[in-house]
């Protein structure tokens, strides 16, 4: 994608009513439609969605395929796709506006800052779909299912909140199982190292992202972990 195309998309995001962006890592305020500053921590349902429904995050959402798919399938839930890449978010946000999906929004920020934008207990579920596996041991804390990130999720998830990981990376799959086993007050609900080998246990797994389709074309197996924080 050319630099000009990216700049056009970044400019368009400022006019989107379903996109919020953070430009200052020290400040939890977000910039929304037409550059309006907002602070939505603890108020996403009341002030953006205007509807009190369970809130689900998709972290490292990319083009937002999973957020969009979940929003279509579950109109009585609210969804927010989170990513730092504005050009990718633009694609998902554009589709959401075209389809008039009122229960999905997008947040452009670094996942490391997630607790700045959501209050304790505000989030019901988290989906992590095909994240960067960060294979080097020196970057273990950057893996989105590391103990470091799970500690952050605990601060925003309601008691009993569920986390989902979908990946094609066997090392990240094994690492996640090990982390969940070592984490106190954490329950492994389900896991499978090849989800399409047999009938899917959950309808949400039918959804496929751009990267998942690409991985399946390469004959890779798709893995899934579902666990709960107490």
Q: Any idea which residues carry the catalytic annotation?
A: 132
Q: What token pair was written down for 61?
A: 């959402």
Q: Distance between CA 57 and CA 200 in Å, rounded?
A: 22
Show Cβ contacts of residue 105 under 8 Å, excluding neighbours closer than 6 positions.
Answer: 18, 19, 20, 44, 48, 49, 78, 79, 80, 81, 96
DSSP-based three-state secondary structure for 129: strand
Estimate the crossing angle of helix 147-154 against helix 170-182, to 10 degrees.
60
Q: What token pair was written down for 128?
A: 């992590």
Q: Distance between CA 91 and CA 93 in Å, rounded?
A: 6
User: What residues form DSSP beta bridges with 190?
Assistant: 226
């Amino acid at each position: 994608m050319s630099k000009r195309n990216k700049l056009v998309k970044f400019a368009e995001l400022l006019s989107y009513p379903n996109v919020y962006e953070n430009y200052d890592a020290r400040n939890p305020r977000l910039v929304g439609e037409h550059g309006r500053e907002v602070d939505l921590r603890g108020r996403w349902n009341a002030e953006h969605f205007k509807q009190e429904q369970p809130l689900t995050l998709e972290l490292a959402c990319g083009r937002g395929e999973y957020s969009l798919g979940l929003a279509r399938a579950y109109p009585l839930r609210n969804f927010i796709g989170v990513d730092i890449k504005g050009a990718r978010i633009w694609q998902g946000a554009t589709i959401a506006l075209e389809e008039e999906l009122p229960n999905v929004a997008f947040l452009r920020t670094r996942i490391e800052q997630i607790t700045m934008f959501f209050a304790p207990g505000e989030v019901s579920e988290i989906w992590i779909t095909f994240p960067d596996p960060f294979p080097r041991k020196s970057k273990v804390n950057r893996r989105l299912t590391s103990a470091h990130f799970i500690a952050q999720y605990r601060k925003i998830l309601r008691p009993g909140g569920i986390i989902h990981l979908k990946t094609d990376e066997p090392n990240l799959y094994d690492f996640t199982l090990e982390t969940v086993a070592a984490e106190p007050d954490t329950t492994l609900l389900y896991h499978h190292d090849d989800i399409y080998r047999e009938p899917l246990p959950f309808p949400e797994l039918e959804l496929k992202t751009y990267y998942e389709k690409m991985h399946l074309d390469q004959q890779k197996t798709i893995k899934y972990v579902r666990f709960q924080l107490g």
